[in-house]
């Protein structure tokens, strides 16, 4: 869904409605609610999320990243910041699984490095 948002820039309500009506497949209400909350939240927080990614993506502009990769990063960073029940290592593992399926081996390493650095930043800021 974030990929679609990134490309089409359609309103998030329309994006969610279209996705679930046409592509959503069979899933439980809990899964639908969780996924919708993540996507809507990531879209809502896209600027501060991109700032965090930029801080750790040395020599990479967000616009130069592959659409899939930047949206995997956005979703994971949103989850880091707002889904406290999900351990950060689980978020990273899920992001890497998505990257392995939809991106390249090199992208998986890139995503892992950025997410690990952001995770450390967040853990350091909590203990400081």
Mean pLDDT over 22-30 rounds to 80
pLDDT tens digit string along 72-96? Answer: 999 999 999 999 899 999 999 999 9
Cut 0.95: pTM above it? no
**Structural domains of the chain in order of their starting residue, each with its CATH number:** 2-127 (1.10.940.10)
The C-alpha angle with vertex 62 and arms to 101 and 45, in degrees rounded to 5, equals 90
Taking alpha carbons only, the member of 113, 16, 115, 106 closest to residue 74 is 115
Q: Give the C-alpha separation, 126 to 43, whole Å.
A: 25
Binned at pLDDT 50, 70 and 90, residue 50 comes out as very high
Q: Is the pLDDT of residue 59 over 90?
A: no
Q: Is the pLDDT of residue 127 over 90?
A: no
């Amino acid at each position: 869904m974030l990929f679609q948002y990134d490309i089409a820039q359609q309103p998030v309500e329309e994006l969610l409605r279209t996705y679930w009506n046409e592509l959503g497949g069979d899933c439980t209400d809990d899964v639908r609610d969780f996924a919708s909350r993540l996507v809507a939240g990531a879209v809502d927080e896209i600027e501060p999320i991109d700032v965090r990614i930029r801080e750790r993506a040395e020599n990479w502009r967000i616009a130069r990243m592959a659409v899939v990769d930047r949206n995997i990063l956005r979703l994971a960073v949103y989850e880091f910041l707002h889904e406290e029940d999900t351990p950060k290592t689980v978020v990273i593992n899920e992001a890497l699984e998505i990257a392995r399926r939809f991106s390249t081996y090199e992208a998986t390493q890139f995503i892992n490095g950025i997410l690990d650095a952001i995770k450390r930043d967040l853990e350091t800021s909590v203990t400081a």
